[in-house]
Amino acid sequence: MALLENVVFVFAAGLVTALATGLGAIPFFLVADVSDRWNVALWGLASGIMVSASIFGLIFEGLSAADTPLEIVPGLVAGVVLVVVAHEVIDDYEMDPKEYEEADFQKLLLILGVLTVHSFPEGVAVGVAFADLGLEAAADSSIAILGLAVPLLAVFMTLAISIHNVPEGVAISIPLRTLGVSEWKMVWWAVFSSLPQPIGAVIAFLFVRFAREFLPVGFGFAAGAMIYLVVTEFIPEALTIGKGLPGDGRRELVAGVVAGVAAMVPLLFL
């Protein structure tokens, strides 16, 4: 019964990160469009959050759980390989936002597959962070939530991924806006794009819970995938959007990255 409660709690945390993606559509209730300057800055913010959460959260925790630093290396490599494979899948399928609106069942399954390989690593990062959920041995580094001892790392990662998902929601909403999709539908499709995250969180949690000797690998896997996502997707996306800005948007990108790191560092001292 305790395991079921833990799984439900982890799923709920993953669902919170998915729902946060819907916040990216909220600006469109207030304004007609989001400027390229702000869009670049938001991608920078997401990048700073992901890198700082990966290094200060996942990698540091993986090193503390490992006997030698080399134990996290296979996980880092596996995380990178996952994103490389995901890129191959995504590159073979150019997804038009209008297909969200017009998808039949087969196309919907394909879209779900693309979204899964894209957002699954973020769910894994959340699930791995919950490895010590409810364990008395980790009580000193936990806080009580709904009667469960929740690791501080899990709180940190859930917040980090949730904040990071907001710019992704903006990126999804912008093309939907051009298609005349209503604001509430933009919220739904933004959330829909991150629904694989709670599933990934539960799978990762169960894996590291029952195979604790692989915990350093799990931390490395999540960190490697997220850092590689930043390098190969977030930064290039920001630079593409910023091409029409002075300095190609690099100033806004750097400002966003610095703000993302600055937002995460205080959480390390909770």
What are the pLDDT digits (tens) for 70-104?
889 998 998 888 778 777 766 655 555 555 555 55
**Averaged pLDDT for residues 23-41:** 83
- Confidence at residue 105, expressed as pLDDT on a 0 to 100 scale: 46
The boundaries of the domain holding residue 143 are 2-269
Check pLDDT > 80 for residue 53. Answer: yes
How many domains does one find in the chain? 1
Question: What backbone phi and psi angles, to 5 degrees, belong to 268?
Answer: -65, -20
The pTM (predicted TM-score) of the whole model is 0.79
- Confidence at residue 15, expressed as pLDDT on a 0 to 100 scale: 94
Helix locations, the chain, DSSP H: 2-21, 36-52, 60-65, 73-91, 98-102, 105-129, 152-178, 183-192, 196-210, 215-229, 235-241, 250-264
Neighbours of 259 (CB within 10 A): 16
Question: pLDDT tens for residues 188-206?
Answer: 888 888 888 999 899 999 9
Tokens of 160: 């980090």
Helix (H, G, I), strand (E, B) or coil at 136: helix
